[in-house]
């Protein structure tokens, strides 16, 4: 598993186990008739379209005094009536702690309340077209950006692309820059490729050699390497195009800060006429039509997704150091350098024709998307300040629109009546489309938004509760995530194809565990449905998320919990998380089917009669006379311990201690200890919030241990 989070895979289902009484399942199947589903219909609705606009003067400085009347917006050629207008003027965060300056915002015209548009940045490290020195300098620039440019409310994400790993999301949008810094610190320049530019330079220089020149590589070898370079370029273009399509569904302006040397111009747009040799042009290339078409399509998709590229060319980092190596080597050898690498094997990238560099591709990428190209990574402080000024002052224009779910492209043109003003805005957008037509990458971003965002951008999901139980033994700590799916959640998912994705993140937000199953919830209406998933983990703090998503319409529900897993002693007595039970049998479990028997499986550690009892997640109705508790214990190093239990409640509001009467119903052995089944009386306990404490002691060894859980009576 990668140390940092990457795209969460939509893994194939390995099986679905439905646990419960056979009689219950058969009677349910016989009573329920499945009705044919009608195709999902999307009606035309009036929505508010918001676009973010940057305006600069001839010197590139933001224009900050425009009014709504200064703008003209056309959607597919039709001039729109602006109903929403906001002006945002933001300043860079001060180096010394001071109160942030107030945001200047004009009062908008009367419209339905809308979600505020804040700044969104994605730092993008390109390892495929880069050098080690360029990556190291990019890491410095990215950290400087995180330290100086962010303002309260700004969100940052972290992406990378490499030839082996492809496109990766290390962090989704977050307001915590520390997460981004930690992920960047682990980036290694060893992932860089940097080969395409060197091959291209060699390829064109080969054509200029005279007939008697001895050259290190043959023409056929260079042509083979060049074909491989084009294949790498195509992969990069297609992945970035997929990312742009997924970005359509992330609201607001996306500012993508790209650190790269860029795709070589002569591979896409046009080649170069070589030196005449043997009566013909040895090298003549008009570019690659397929790559050129795909690159232009990528530009269109990025613009439509309202994604502006701020391209920081990292070639200068290699150029600065290699210029001195070039001078030194020329002086010592007293001869011109015909190799394009220095003695350490590092590419010498000095005074190249721009056609053999990524300059044109990067500058066009930035220009078409409304961003900016910065040629010298060594001047990142000055250039990041310029980017901050440009993105820190913007206008939000809004207009009403009849929205249809057809996925068609709308062209947007924004004009400013003031002379000399330059406008940067998205060139268009796509209407929404049904969830079933999303690409895999779009669905993954949708899942990331639900799973990782405290405030999902793409929808407002239902929320419910999930409980984390921890237990351990000789096989190490284990986590059980157990959730009771509320009736309103089951009713929300009308489709027959619903996925459950259980995710566990450690305290550094790294993905520590993932399980996924699919189910048809329409079969389980009117029943208690529990979803169980587990993970083997190291001691520490974890965040658990359970995402339920309808794969036919994209609707979601999310449950979350914070769990601490303590280290299990090598010897002595340990009692683990208790499982609360009440009488009941009309329920089902949804969980992944085990590939092989596991002695540490939670069903072996928490055994009970599913025909008689049902779990509760810490809440019981007032007047419930008794509650049952299943307590797993482990006791390495102890011989035949006689474990005695004591139980009491602590009232949260008053701190009052309430002893509980009860008795042990059953003891059963498991892989490393025993599970104790206890009945506790609640007859004298009134409504309120409590902590249930269970104390265990072994009289022979004097070993003691305790556990606790929440209990709500209402």
349-381 residue pLDDT tens: 444 555 667 888 899 899 888 888 998 899 999
Region of poorest pLDDT, from 237-251, 583-597, 693-707 = 583-597
pLDDT value, residue 356: 64
Mean pLDDT of 161-183: 87
For residues 97 and 301, what is the distance between their CA atoms, to the nearest angstrom? 40
What is the percent of the chain with per-residue pLDDT over 90, rounded to a whole number?
Answer: 32
Mean pLDDT of 144-153: 90
pTM of the predicted model as reported, rounded to 2 decimal places: 0.59
SS (HEC) of 135-201: HHHHHHHHHHHHHHCCCCCCEEEEEEEECCCEEEEEEEEECCHHHHHHHHHCCCHHHCCCHHHHHHH
Region of poorest pLDDT, from 41-45, 238-242, 544-548, 675-679 = 41-45
Name the most confidently modeled range: 200-204, 225-229, 599-603: 599-603
| DSSP state string for 640-655 | S--EEEEEEEEETTT-
C-alpha distances (whole Å) from 541 to each of 567, 593, 678 are: 11, 27, 29
Name the most confidently modeled range: 60-64, 367-371, 565-569, 644-648: 644-648
Q: Are β-strands 254-260 and 120-126 bridged in parallel, bridged antiparallel, or unpaired?
A: parallel
Q: Measuring CA to CA, which residue among 693, 572, 682, 708 is closest to residue 636?
A: 572
| DSSP state string for 631-690 | EEEE-TT-SS--EEEEEEEEETTT--EEE--EEEEEEEE-SSEEEEEEEEE-TTPPSEEE
Please name every residue paired with 16 in a beta bridge, in sequence order, or none if there are none.
Answer: 592
CATH numbers and ranges of domains, the chain: 45-114+394-430 (no CATH), 120-393 (3.40.50.410), 461-713 (2.60.40.10)
pLDDT at 334 over 80: no
pLDDT at 271 over 70: no
How do residues 437-461 score in pLDDT, each as one tens digit?
A: 887 877 887 887 788 776 665 667 8
Using pLDDT thresholds of 50, 70 and 90, give the confidence band for residue 675: very high
Give residues with Cβ within 8 angstroms of 372, minimum separation 6: 310, 311, 366, 386, 387, 390
What is the percent of the chain with per-residue pLDDT over 70, rounded to a whole number?
Answer: 75
Region of poorest pLDDT, from 141-145, 326-330, 353-357, 607-611 = 326-330
| DSSP state string for 390-433 | HHHEEEEEEEEEEE-SS--EEEEEEEESSTT-EEE--SEEE---
pLDDT value, residue 41: 44
pLDDT value, residue 470: 93
Q: Average pLDDT over the chain, rounded to whole? A: 77
Interior angle at CA 109, CA 106 and CA 111, nearest 5: 125
pLDDT at 486 over 60: yes
For residues 565 and 480, what is the distance between their CA atoms, to the nearest angstrom? 11
Using pLDDT thresholds of 50, 70 and 90, give the confidence band for residue 42: very low
pLDDT value, residue 476: 85
């Amino acid at each position: 598993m990668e140390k940092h989070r990457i795209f969460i895979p939509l893994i194939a289902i390995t099986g679905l186990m439905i646990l419960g009484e056979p009689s219950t399942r058969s009677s349910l199947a016989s009573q329920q008739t499945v009705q044919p589903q009608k195709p999902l219909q999307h009606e035309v609705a009036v929505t508010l379209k918001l676009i973010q606009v940057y305006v600069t003067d001839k010197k590139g400085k933001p224009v900050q005094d425009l009014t709504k009347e200064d703008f003209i917006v056309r959607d597919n050629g039709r001039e729109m009536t602006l109903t929403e207008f906001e002006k945002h003027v933001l300043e860079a965060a001060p180096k010394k702690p001071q109160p942030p300056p107030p945001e200047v915002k004009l009062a908008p015209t009367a419209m339905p309340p809308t979600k505020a548009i804040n700044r969104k940045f994605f730092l993008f490290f390109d390892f495929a077209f880069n050098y080690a020195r360029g990556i190291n300098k990019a890491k410095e620039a990215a950290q400087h950006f995180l330290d100086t440019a962010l303002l309260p409310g700004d969100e940052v994400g972290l992406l990378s692309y490499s030839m082996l790993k492809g496109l990766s999301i290390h962090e989704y949008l977050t307001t915590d820059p520390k997460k981004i810094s930690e992920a960047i610190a682990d980036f290694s320049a060893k992932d860089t490729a940097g080969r395409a530019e060197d091959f291209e330079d060699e390829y064109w220089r080969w054509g200029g050699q005279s007939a008697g020149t001895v050259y290190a590589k043959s023409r056929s070898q260079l042509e083979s390497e060049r074909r491989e370079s084009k294949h790498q370029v195509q992969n990069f273009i297609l992945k970035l195009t997929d990312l742009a399509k997924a970005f359509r569904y992330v609201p607001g302006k996306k500012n993508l800060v790209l650190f790269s040397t860029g795709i070589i111009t002569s591979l896409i747009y046009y080649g170069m006429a070589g030196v005449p040799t043997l009566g013909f042009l040895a090298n003549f290339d008009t570019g690659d039509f397929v790559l050129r078409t795909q690159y232009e399509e990528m530009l269109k998709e990025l613009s439509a997704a309202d994604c502006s590229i701020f391209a920081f060319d990292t070639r200068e980092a290699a150029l600065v150091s290699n210029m001195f190596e070039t001078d030194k080597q020329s002086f010592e050898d007293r001869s011109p350098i015909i190799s394009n690498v220095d003695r350490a094997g590092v590419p010498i990238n000095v005074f190249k024709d721009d056609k053999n560099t990524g300059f044109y591709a990067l500058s066009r990428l930035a220009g078409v998307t409304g961003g900016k190209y910065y040629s010298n990574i060594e001047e990142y402080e000055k250039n990041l300040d310029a980017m901050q000024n440009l993105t820190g002052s913007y206008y939000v224009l809004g207009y009403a629109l009849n929205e249809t779910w057809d996925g068609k492209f709308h062209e947007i043109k924004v004009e400013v009546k003031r002379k000399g003003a330059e406008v940067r805005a998205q060139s268009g957008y796509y209407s929404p489309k049904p969830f079933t037509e999303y690409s895999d990458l779009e669905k993954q971003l949708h899942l990331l938004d639900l799973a990782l965002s405290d405030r999902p951008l793409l929808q407002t999901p239902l929320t419910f509760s999930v409980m984390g139980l921890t237990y351990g033994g000789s096989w190490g700590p284990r986590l059980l995530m157990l959730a009771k799916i509320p009736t309103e959640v089951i009713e929300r998912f009308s489709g027959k194809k619903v996925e459950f994705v259980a995710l566990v993140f450690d305290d550094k937000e790294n993905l520590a565990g993932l399980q996924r199953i699919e189910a048809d919830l329409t079969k389980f209406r009117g029943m208690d449905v529990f979803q169980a998933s587990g993970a083997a983990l190291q001691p520490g703090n974890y965040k658990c998320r359970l995402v339920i998503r309808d794969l036919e319409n994209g609707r979601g529900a999310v449950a979350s919990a914070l769990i601490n897993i303590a280290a299990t002693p090598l010897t002595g007595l340990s009692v683990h998380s208790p499982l609360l039970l009440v009488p009941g049998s009309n329920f089902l479990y949804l969980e992944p089917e085990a590939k092989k028997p596991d002695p540490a499986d939670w069903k072996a550690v928490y055994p009970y009669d599913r025909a008689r009892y049902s779990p509760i997640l810490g809440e019981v109705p007032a007047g419930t006379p008794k509650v049952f508790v299943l307590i797993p214990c482990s006791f390495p190093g102890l011989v035949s311990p006689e474990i005695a239990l004591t139980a009491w409640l602590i009232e949260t509001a008053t701190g009052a201690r309430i002893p509980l009467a009860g008795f042990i119903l059953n003891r059963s052995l498991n892989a490393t200890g025993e599970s104790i089944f206890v009945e506790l009386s609640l007859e004298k306990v009134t409504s309120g919030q409590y902590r249930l404490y269970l104390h265990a002691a072994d009289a022979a060894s004097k070993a003691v241990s305790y556990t606790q859980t929440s209990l709500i009576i209402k």
